[in-house]
Amino acid sequence: MNGIAVTACESVFLKGMNMRISKATKTWVAALALLASSSAWAGVQVNFSKPDDYSDMPFSTRDREQILAGLAEHFQLLGKGLRPGQDLQIEVTDVDLAGREDPMRRGTMDVRVMDGRTDWPRMRLRYVLEQDGKVIASGNAALSDMSYLQRINRYSSSDALRYEKKMIDDWFENTFGIKPTGRSKPVMTLQSHVRRR
């Protein structure tokens, strides 16, 4: 797979490599390597395939890193509900965050404007669920939440990923029958402004 996996073996291998890697790739690897140890014990491995090509990510490199780390952490949290002996591999192939980045309001923090018309969150991924090393479920999924501004959301309004986390929760429950039992750490990188119709 082309992408950046968050596994301990790959992060050690990448640190030892002595070859030219783009600055953006190094940044992604550094951010995701921090998640390597938690990926192994949680039973969930998250791979962000070609994140530079995603439909909608923040302009700031720092914010992009935190968004990917926040998404991976949320999948990890939900993965705690897997049965003993189960392992889940998720390859995220596209992300389109809720709202749109407002280029006129860039400063120390990116600002996203949300109106709920055509700017709902979306994500594409592939997954494989194994039980004791045997594949028991796999598939492609297109996640979206067109009514994200109208729905009750259990996550803090200051969490930049509150709408994406709700969308992932719904997919996880519908696909694996696992409801969230806790909340992942809020991602506080983006300011958002909701523009009501």
pLDDT digits (tens, 9 = 90+) for 98-114: 888 766 665 656 677 77
Contact 46, 92 (CB under 8 A): yes
pLDDT digits (tens, 9 = 90+) for 1-43: 445 554 333 333 333 433 445 555 555 555 555 444 334 444 8
pTM passes above 0.75: no
Name the percent of the chain lying above pLDDT 70. Answer: 68
Q: Which residue ranges make up each domain of the chain?
A: 4-194
